[in-house]
């Protein structure tokens, strides 16, 4: 079973009509992962026994005809805790960690009888943009296995793009769903901050993190967000706003919509092919009846600096719990308590995680807080105001997702500043707490290029509506990789 020509609704119809059972579907999926993933490395751990057992239980109870996720195999990013199943956040620090509870989104999917087939690879603690920072393996882009899949949700995006699973969950702190979605030619949604509970998501930047779906098409993405969105009493940052049916107005079109393209997102440093993809998408939207005009977000030029100070400061705080005592990796041969802390953290964390902890600790330290963290927070407010001003007159923002198509494995990983600049187009959305979605919109040298649709707070429905209109007018989402790329 591969999922290149499938949708949730088409597979669900086969399950309901008993053309295939959930057990058969799950076993086919597991077999496909075993075959394909040796070239892609999308998965850290596969739960063969648990997945088959759950599928058998679903078949015994009967497929729910009104629930598209009933009996459907889905993958989870490995920073979503799963009860009794190893959850590593791709770090040596948590290599043997088996949680005692489920993340809220994991419970929500389980309650709908979606089948968790395994945990996908990622940058360690979600810190990175290429999935090269995993402690266990490097994930490869299915379109060209010499290229990165993006990150930090590179494993989830690659698994969907390679046809291993029909859908997966990722997390997005500064573009970690949208950028890999662009690199892999799939659909990735970062919801409004608070739309989806973060309970059970291993924290990176608590004011920035959001869980979201990665799928092959817009309708499936909206269906999955329907399943995981909503208030959670365990997460005080989750919103109590009513969750609409995100699939309800998918076919309403974009006639009469006003869409802005930020001039700052089309400036120097953006690949010419990427710029052209955005301009071509703009023309498609004009033909569909939307108005597309240039707008300005002047303070986004400070976004990278503000983001890395804020996110690293929050990471420094969140990761202090990994001390070698309560759980996680513990160094051997230590002489005293301080030695235990230092050796456990030095050996358990990778270089990128240690780099961000040090940057964050410095930014929060006495004498530097006002100069760095406070200033970054003020810049964040300016960026929020920029978006607010644009959305007074426009329904959506259209922009590139990433400055370039996927780059080579090993090309940028040793240059942190270059890696950080790759997030320049996505992280403003996280700083402002807005929803944003990357959709396939073209190709450059055989590699997918995505465009980003950014919406007003809690207006994912309009993003899905516009994304679906573009999808129906083009065929980029139907393109599939030639497995193995240039290897």
Distance between CA atoms of residues 202 and 206, nearest Å: 10
Distance between CA atoms of residues 28 and 159, nearest Å: 15
Distance between CA atoms of residues 130 and 183, nearest Å: 10
435: left (phi over 0), alpha (psi -120 to 50) or beta: beta
- Using alpha carbons only, what angle is made at residue 219 by residues 213 and 223, rounded to the nearest 5 degrees? 55
Which run of H or of E encompasses 70?
Answer: none
Upstream peptide bond of 152 is cis (omega within 30 degrees of 0): yes
The rounded radius of gyration (Å) of the Cα atoms in the chain is 21
Distance between CA atoms of residues 449 and 329, nearest Å: 39
SS3 of the chain: helix, strand, coil, percent, to 5: 40, 15, 45
Residue 130: other Cβ atoms inside 10 A: 30
List the catalytic residues.
Answer: 77, 152, 176
SS3 149: coil
What lies within 8 Å, CB to CB, of 71 at 6+ separation is: 15, 21, 22, 25, 26, 55, 58, 59, 63, 113, 114, 115
Nearest CA among 434, 427, 436 for reference residue 457: 434
Pairing of strands 447-455, 436-444: antiparallel
Looking up tokens 């719990």 gives 321
402 with 425: CB under 8 angstroms? yes
330 with 340: CB under 8 angstroms? yes
Residue 426 is given by DSSP the state T
Distance between CA atoms of residues 154 and 90, nearest Å: 12
Distance between CA atoms of residues 321 and 356, nearest Å: 15
């Amino acid at each position: 079973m591969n999922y290149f020509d499938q949708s949730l609704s088409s597979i669900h119809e086969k399950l309901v009509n008993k053309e295939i059972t959930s057990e058969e579907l799950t076993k086919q999926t597991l077999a496909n992962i075993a075959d394909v993933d040796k070239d892609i490395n999308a998965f850290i751990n596969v739960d063969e026994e648990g997945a088959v057992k759950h599928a058998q239980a679903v078949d015994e109870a009967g497929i729910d005809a009104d629930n598209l996720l009933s009996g459907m195999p889905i993958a989870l990013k490995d920073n979503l805790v799963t009860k009794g199943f190893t959850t590593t956040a791709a770090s040596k620090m948590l290599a043997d960690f088996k949680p005692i509870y489920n993340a809220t989104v994991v419970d929500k999917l389980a309650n709908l009888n979606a089948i968790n087939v395994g945990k996908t690879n990622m940058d360690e603690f979600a810190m990175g943009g290429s999935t090269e920072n995993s402690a266990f393996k490097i994930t490869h882009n299915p379109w060209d296995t010499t290229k990165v899949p993006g990150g930090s949700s590179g494993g989830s995006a690659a698994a969907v793009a390679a046809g291993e699973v029909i859908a997966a969950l990722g997390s997005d702190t500064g573009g970690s769903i949208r950028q890999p979605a662009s690199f892999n030619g799939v659909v990735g949604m970062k919801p409004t901050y608070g739309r989806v509970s973060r309970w059970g998501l291993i924290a990176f930047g608590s004011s920035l993190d959001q869980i979201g779906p990665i799928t092959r098409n817009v309708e499936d993405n909206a269906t999955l967000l329907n399943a995981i969105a909503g208030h959670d009493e365990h997460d005080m940052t989750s919103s109590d706003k009513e969750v609409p049916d995100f699939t309800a107005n998918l076919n309403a079109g974009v006639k009469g919509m006003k869409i802005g393209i930020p001039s700052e997102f089309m400036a120097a440093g953006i690949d010419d092919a990427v710029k052209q993809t955005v301009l071509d998408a703009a023309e498609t939207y004009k033909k569909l009846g939307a108005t597309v005009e240039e707008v300005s977000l002047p303070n986004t030029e400070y976004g990278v600096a503000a983001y890395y100070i804020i996110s690293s400061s929050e990471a420094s705080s969140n990761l202090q719990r990994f001390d070698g005592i309560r759980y996680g990796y513990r160094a051997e041969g230590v002489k005293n308590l301080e030695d235990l802390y230092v050796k456990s953290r030095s050996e358990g964390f990778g270089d990128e995680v240690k780099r961000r902890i040090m940057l964050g600790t410095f930014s929060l330290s006495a004498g530097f807080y006002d100069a760095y963290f406070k200033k970054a927070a003020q810049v964040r407010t300016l960026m929020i105001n920029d978006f607010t001003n644009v959305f007074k007159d426009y329904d959506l923002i259209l922009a590139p997702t990433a400055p370039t198509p996927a780059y080579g494995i090993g090309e940028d990983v040793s240059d942190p500043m270059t890696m950080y600049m790759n997030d320049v187009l996505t992280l403003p959305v996280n700083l402002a707490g807005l929803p944003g979605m990357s959709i396939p919109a073209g190709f450059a040298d055989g590699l997918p290029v995505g465009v980003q649709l950014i919406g007003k707070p809690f207006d994912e429905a309009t993003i899905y509506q516009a994304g679906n209109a573009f999808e129906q007018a083009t065929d980029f989402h139907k393109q599939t990789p030639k497995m193995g790329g240039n290897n």
